[in-house]
Amino acid sequence: MKKRWKPNVTVAAVIERDGRFLLIEEHTPEGLRLNNPAGHLDPAESPQEGVVREVLEETACVFTPQALVGIYLGRFQRPSRDEDVTYLRFAYAGTVGEPLPGRALDRGIVRTLWMTLAEVRASASRHRSTMVLQSIEDHVAGRRYPLALITTEASVYLPDLPP
Q: Looking at the predicted structure, is the pLDDT value of residue 161 above 70?
A: no
| Mean pLDDT score across all residues of the chain | 95
Over residues 62-85, the pLDDT tens digits come to: 999 999 999 999 998 877 778 888
Domains of the chain, each with CATH number or no CATH: 8-146 (3.90.79.10)
Kindly state the DSSP code that residue 145 receives in the 8-state scheme: B
pTM over 0.85: yes
Going by their DSSP bridges, the two strands 109-116 and 20-28 should be labelled as antiparallel
How many whole angstroms separate alpha carbon 132 and alpha carbon 12?
9
Read off the pLDDT of each residue in 20-48 and give the average, rounded to a whole number. 96
